[in-house]
Each structure stands twice: as C-alpha cells, then as structure tokens.
Structure 1
Amino acid sequence: MLWNGDRRYVDAQVVNTDLAAIIFTSGTTGVSKGVMLSHRNLMLDAILVQSMFEAHPKDICFSVLPMHHCYECTATFLTCVYSGATVAFSRGLKYIRKDILEVKPTILLAVPAIIENFHNKIRRSVADKLSEKQMRAFEIIDREASRFKVKLPKKVTRDIEAVFGGRLHTLISGGAPIDGAILDSFCNIGFNAIQGYGLSECSPIVALNPAKRKYMKNASAGHVMPFTECKILDADSNGIGEICFRGPQVMMGYYKDPENTAAVLDEEGWFHTGDVGYLDRDNYVFITGRKKNVIIASNGKNVFPEELESYLLGLPLVDECMVWGGELDPNSPWNGIHATVRLNKEALEKALGPEYTPEQAEALIEAQVDKINDDLPRFKKIAHVIVREREFDKTTSMKIRRFVEDNKRA
C-alpha cells in the first residue's frame, strides 16, 4: 500500500483511548464475547507487567500460545517488545521441547497445562534414577527448600535446567490456576517461577507475583498490579466474596453488547470478575473459585470444583480432571459431586504393571479418591469417579470447557 502511495495508516492520528483490538474471550462458560481494548489498555498493562518481572534487551522470550490469546499478546509479545527483548515463536505444542532446546529462552510464559507437563516429566525422570528411599529423601529436601526459600544444590538441578535450554531464569504461569507447590519446586531449581492472574477484559493482567523469591506468594494468584485497585464485594465472615478490579487496563466494553457490558462493568468503573476469593493484608489475591462454577450441595453450602480439582491433580495418577455437580442421567444412582478424570498411563503402569486392566485402573483411582474424601466434610465428598481416555474439549488456552456435556463422560 505504501508503495502505491497510500499513507492512510501511516498518517492516521491515533489517540490512546481509541479502540486498538477486539479480543474474544475463551468461552469456557458459554458463548465468546468480543472484548474491546484501547491502545492505553494494552500498552499500560504491558508496561506494568514489565515492571514486575523486568525483561531486558538480552532476554529471549519463548511464545507458546496463539497471539489472539490476550495473555500471550500482552504479557509475552507486547511486554517483551517494549523491553527490547527477542520473542521466539514455537512451531506448535508438539514441538515445544525441541524448540526450547534450539532457542534456549531466558523467559517462558505458559499456561498451567504446559508447566505441569514439564513438572510431571521431570519428577518421573528423577524417580527413574533414584530408589524409592532416595526419592522420599528428595521430596523431603524439595519441600524443605520451598519452606526456607533456598535453592537445591547445582549437581541436583543441572540436568533439569538443561531441559529448558540451560538459560531460563523466569517462568510465569497464567491463564488458569496452578498449584503453588509446583512453582515452588521450580524456584528450588533456581528459576523465578511465579503465578499471575488476568482476564481478557483487563488486558489481561491484574495481579502478578514479584520475580523476587522473598516477595513471592505462589499460593496466591499474585500481588495487585501497580495503579490498579482491587476490592472484595459482598465478603462473608472469612473475607471471601467476588473479586473486582478498577484500573487503566480495564476494557472499554464488549463489542456491540451493552447488556453484557453493564452486567460486569459498573458505573464507578469496577470490573466484576465473577471469581470468588479474598485479599490478604499485603494485597495479594487468593482465588477460591468461580461463581458460575459453584456446585450447590444438598445442604445448601457452596462447593468450588477448583478446590477439589487441585486435590485430584496432586495425585501422580491424574493427568487432567473436571469436577462437576448434578446427575449423570435421570436413572443413575449417582448424584451430587462427580469427577471426570484422565489418567497418566506411565503412572498406571508403574503402579499396576504394563498389563493392567481398565477395572484395575478404576479401582486404583477410586481408592485414592476415597483417601481424599476422608479429609473432606461430607458435603464436599466426591461421590463418583468417571475415567476418561479421550482428551477433554478445551479452549485455545488449554482450559477445559466446563459446560460441554461430553467433557463429563468417559
């Protein structure tokens, strides 16, 4: 166009409050909505993210997710370009390991599914090299290192660092909750492994753990970003209520959808996230669940499936899971809380041998779920486990779509 003398885009006068992008939500709970973000929304969020983990011109950021995902667009691409860093793009999920070894990134931003996959493979690799007694000792050392925030010896971590190319210093998880203990394990290796929290409607980052270990609280979703306000609406006696944010990164509204815009963006500029949680005294955000996902128990109490899923994902046997409430079908004897799980074949073979049967696998996971139930109040107990071999239907950010009926089935 420039070659033909068309200078409309070069000469256009752009105001920071002008619409810059329409990014569609991932649609985990229903129909996607077009989020209108201004130049100011995107760039200020990128600048605020950079102030929290400080990318530099010598850094190489590894891009994994599609660029139309708001987390990838702002936190990886815009933040790193603003910092003068290099952005290397993965060829796709099945090439991640090869690409990392080739690129040797210093910063990796990813979703929990990818980070958990790395963590599980590293743990299994370590377990294969150690006796059962040595593995128990390693787990104790790892746990104590997390407690006192110290690094494991270099001779222990050298091979693990090599998995990421040998130069990685910062690992950031976002897009969905992750077990803080996993991030602490990566910190013990020597990485600055942190968790953040964001929504497309907030460009997306509104909370992020600082990339300095003494300030990290990886059990939280992160510290509220600079120039950003957070409040808890309708808090109960434990301080738990709906999490709301106000700041320069909050969207202009939903594209051609004033009704849904008014439902989440109030007259004072507060964005109502739909997530439930609390703030601690240091302004760190803790998320307990999502309002739309809440299961109402028979006694009227709220059960957040995310809590139960975190217990299940702590089992080496479980690769993925979705906890949900209701009836399997009108004639089913099972009702209440269900867990649909996809099991890890390597863990099954290790526990049962290579010739295990589906019935043995089901019996094993049910026994482990029974142990989880032993520590839960009656209204939170998982009544039924469904073992699924197929992949779950997911969004582009690898989150399981909760309201797709087929995701509940085997």
Structure 2
Amino acid sequence: MSGLSGDSETRKPFRGSIADWRESARSIHPRNTSWLNAGWMVLLASVTLSILGIVTIQTTQPSYATRQFVHLLIGVVFAIGVAVPDYRRLQRFTWPIAIISIILLVFVLIPFVPEWLVRPRNGARRWINLVVTDVQPSELAKIAWIALMAEWLARRDTYRRFTGFMLTFVVTLVPFSLILIEPDLGTALLFIPTLLVMLVVAGARLRHVFLVLLCGVSLGPLAYFTPGVLKPHQIARIDAIVAQFRGDSSLDRDEGFQAARARIVVGSGGLTGVGREHARAIVQFNRLPEERNDMIFAVLICRFGLFGGLAMGLLFILFAAAGMSVAATSRDGFGRLLVVGIIAMVFFQMFVNTGMTIGMLPITGMTLPFVSYGGTSLVATWIMAGLVLNVALRRPRRFQRESFTFDEST
C-alpha cells in the first residue's frame, strides 16, 4: 500500500457554513505566507503573463483588451475563492464535479439543443451561451479531470499493476472522447501526457509508461492512414506541416494559410519587436486568422520581438518550476498530484500553442494559457493557479506520512 495522508480516515464532515471557511483560513500556516513561498512565484508568473496577454491583445483591437481585463478580474476572484478553503475538502467532491463536467460536455453535443444556447463556431460545438458570456465546458472539464485523477491516484495504488494502470486511461477516455467529438483535438490530446506525468509522480511502473508511449507513437501513423479516424481538415493540417518541412509552399494559400501567415508575422518581429502600431499593421496586412486566440504568440513576437517571446517562455518556466516546488514540498498525496496535474496541463498547452505558431507542430486550435483572449480559458487557468496557491499555503497535518512509498516486491 502507498503511504498516503495519514488522516484520510478521520476527516471531519462537511458542515458548509461560514465557520468552515474560518477553519479553512486558520489552516493556512503563517510560515507559508512568506514571500519565499513558491506559491507566490506561481501567482507572480500568472499575473505577469495575464498582463502581457492584455497588452498583446490590445495590439489587435483595444476593445478586446478591455474585455480581457474584465475576464482577468473575474479569474482573480475565482482564484481567491478556491485558494482560501482547504483544498483537501475538494477531495470529497471530485466525482460529483467530474460527473457535472461530463454532463456539460454531453450537453453541447446534443443535436436538437437550439443554437442560441449552444453556439457553433467554425463547425465546432464547444460553447454554452449564458447571455452575458459564453462558457466552454472543456476548460472546466480539464480542472475536474485533474482533481479526479489526483484523488484516484492518492487513495489507491492499483495503478502499480498493469490493469489498474490502464483503468486510469479508460476513465480518461470519457472526457477525451467527448472533447474530440466537438471537435477539439488539441484540448483532447492534452489529457494523455498530463496523465502520464501524474502517473510517474504517483509511482507507476516505468515499463508501463514506456509501453503506453510506444503504443502512442505506433498508433499515430495508423490514425493518419486509416480512413475515418481523422477528419479531413486535421489530415490537411498534417499535410501542410509536412509540406513546410519539405520546403514546399504550394499549400500556403490553402490548408497551410494560417501557419504560413503566422510564420510571416513572427519573422517580422526581429529581436526587439516593431512596436504596437507597426505590429497591428503587419497583422492586418497578412490577414492572420485567430490573431487574438490561437495565434496570439505570433502577435506577441511581432510586437516585442524574440526577446519578448523568450521572456514569456521564462515566465512559464517560473510558473512550472515554482509549481513543482510546491508539489515537492507537499506531504499530501492529493495535493501533490493536483499541483503536478495543473502544471503539466498548462505547460503542455503552452508548448503545443507555441510549437504550432512557429511551424513546428500542426495547427490544433489551442489557446495560449493566460495570454490568449477568452473568458472561460482565462478564468479556468486562474482557478488552476488558485489551487496551486492553496496547496502551497496549507500546513501539513500532524502525523502525516510521506506520500507514495511502496513495497517494490508487490
């Protein structure tokens, strides 16, 4: 058995009152509020990246920058809301939250739901209209799934056996498939590497991890060549990136248009950028699609140059390093895996977005965390940051044992 939190059997019943919030606030260790706490570094990186995103969005259209600032304020409020109550209370509600997120994912796929309620965009059904804003269930599903997997791996060690290991993928297949059907291939693909990282940290056997990686590498080409597995536009995007690597520009006005425009905008930035007005003119002249969303990194480099792009990368590294420091110092299995899952999800999303922008990966329609325009995306990412801060601020409970210690003979 794994040496998990020693108090998991003696948790107090949830009373749901103001007294619970006060008790949760008192569980914040005074020593953990020091500015040396890695949780504050996560917060600093999150704030700086969000401000950088607003400034970059302002390059394209100032009105959207104002809206994004409102989204940021809402995100900060939600982050504070999830940072105050003890995160260990969340462990009891991971399954209900996950079920609600699945219901929302199914809801957007129901054909007879009117379009005023579920708004299709570019052929994808991903958004629920709440009048004042649109909500994207897949963003909320990422948080729910991370919390569920953290609870799953922290409370049992069946994943040390191959059948239990594969069972985590079966559970993950539910949100993965629903998001893939929307279709949203980019977001769906984030679940697999994030799960692998969480399994490794939890102590899964590396031979099982390598076997899954080998299967994934083998199934990739099979999915491409098997009719009906990938949609035509997904195959076209893969063809475009292959043509680019070959030096073939014949697809730059068709399937590879977005990637080609992004490369031109990125190349225009040079080392130090061209400034706001010139960058806006370049983006408009090249008719860069999704310049506020998926292609925001291209606009950022155009305005601030290569140095600006590197600065953004360093902020994400700070976010990841500080988050991993929080996970490493946590003695609670659920808290450790919750943080690891969040950091992995955000970092992989950043990697894929920047990779597709500079032409190293196919276009997948994925936003850049904290930076891209979008209410649900920004608020969801700030909720993740709030959860990391929550774990960082909690004091370890008495008699708590080190997490994830195993008898290697089992």
**TM above 0.5:** no
TM-score, normalisation: structure 2: 0.29
TM-score, normalisation: structure 1: 0.29
Q: Which has the higher strand share?
A: 1
Q: Which has the higher contact order (CA 8 A, sep 6+)?
A: 2
